[in-house]
Amino acid sequence: MRNFPQSETLKRLPDQFFAKLVKKLNTYQEKGYDVINLGQGNPDQPTPDHIVQSLQKAAENPVYHKYSPFQGFDYLKEAVAQFYKREYNVTLDPSSEVAIMFGSKAGLVELSQCFLNPGDMALVPDPGYPDYWSGLAIADAVMKSLPLLQENDFLPDYNGLDKETLEKAKLMFLNYPNNPTGAVASEEFFKKTIEFADQNDICVVHDFAYGAIGFDDHKKPLSFMQVPGAKDIGVEIYTMSKTYNMAGWRVAFAVGNPSVVEAIEKIQDHYYVSLFGAIQEATATALLDSQESVKELRETYESRRNILIDGFKEIGWELMPCKGSFFVWLKVPEGFTSQSFADELLEQVGLFVAPGIGFGAYGEGYVRIGLNNSKEDLHESLQRFKKFHQQY
């Protein structure tokens, strides 16, 4: 059998962290292990009924059985603009400041291809979402880590960047509420970011995947677009996956700087035609109709988070303050690496967590735990953590 060599582009791609996690989990489950999966960020609740019903009805419309407009239906872009005005008091031009995307993952990868030439540099949060790296690899660009440290509330410190980095950097990724740390951004931080990006001619990409999931005093996480000047220097990526439990629907949008929106639409013209029209109509329904399901979802995640906060405090393990997203960031016990701790948890007590090293070098010493399990599973998980703690 002939073995065809891969392109240099494919060879540059890193191993897909989450694909490796799923494969490892499946291996243990196939062996009959009783495993509680705390490692993935896959919403466990169904899509709200009114959104599903909107899809079902729209699917009968023969207009949607044809190719959709390349850059999406105008009514969906208008719905996005209305959503941002209602939720964040941000005014958007639907025709030039909104791009419909095939899920935020694809859009985040495409952005590096849009703006980076071989050898160009991008600033990437560490720890951070690993798929930022994928786009850089495809573009043959250079990655410069922005360390997210506990002492800085897991916000990057731009003062630590050297002159050469500032001259080479063209793109910067941010993500608040943050995956994996659960940190949130303040208006002061976003103002500093806008000033920094403007001075150094850097395009900012704010990944707002967990925009609806904030806790305590942060129940309404700040949109980057709410801060004056943000639209001048970047875009915000919003996915339907987390806010509306539409992960499998693969729909998201970018809002903000018109030149960035134009670039996204240009590259997508060559990759896709457009989303199935019925999905676009159901997405508009989700954005414009009752938001009660969003409120209930936030309350669900907050109650789950509180179970873990109280449980780990009782055990005596340090849990980072989780102010948003549906993850908690747990320090591993002394004597373990993030990977060895994750391996031992799986082997000894059947708990599957994501090792922090998978999110970057500064993720070492932590593991990520998702809030995508029932309260019953979380209580059982805490019993298993306690058992592990007593053993070690």
Domain boundaries, the chain: 8-46+293-391, 62-288
Q: What is the model's pLDDT at position 171?
A: 98
72: left (phi over 0), alpha (psi -120 to 50) or beta: left
Which string of b and e fits 312-333 if b means at least 16 CB within 10 Å?
beeeeeebbbbbbbbbbbbbbe
Q: What is the model's pLDDT at position 160?
A: 86
Between CA 323 and CA 319 the distance in angstroms is 12
C-alpha of 260 from chain center: 19
Q: What angle do CA 126, 190, 182 make, to 5 degrees?
A: 45
Q: What is the model's pLDDT at position 17?
A: 67
Low-confidence ranges of the chain (pLDDT < 70): 16-18, 25, 28-29
State pTM to two decimals.
0.95
CATH topology of domain 8-46+293-391: Aspartate Aminotransferase, domain 1 (3.90.1150)
Secondary structure class of 238 (helix, strand, coil): strand
Secondary structure class of 353 (helix, strand, coil): coil
| Architecture category of domain 62-288 in CATH | 3-Layer(aba) Sandwich (3.40)
Cβ atoms of 348 and 389 within 8 Å: the answer is no
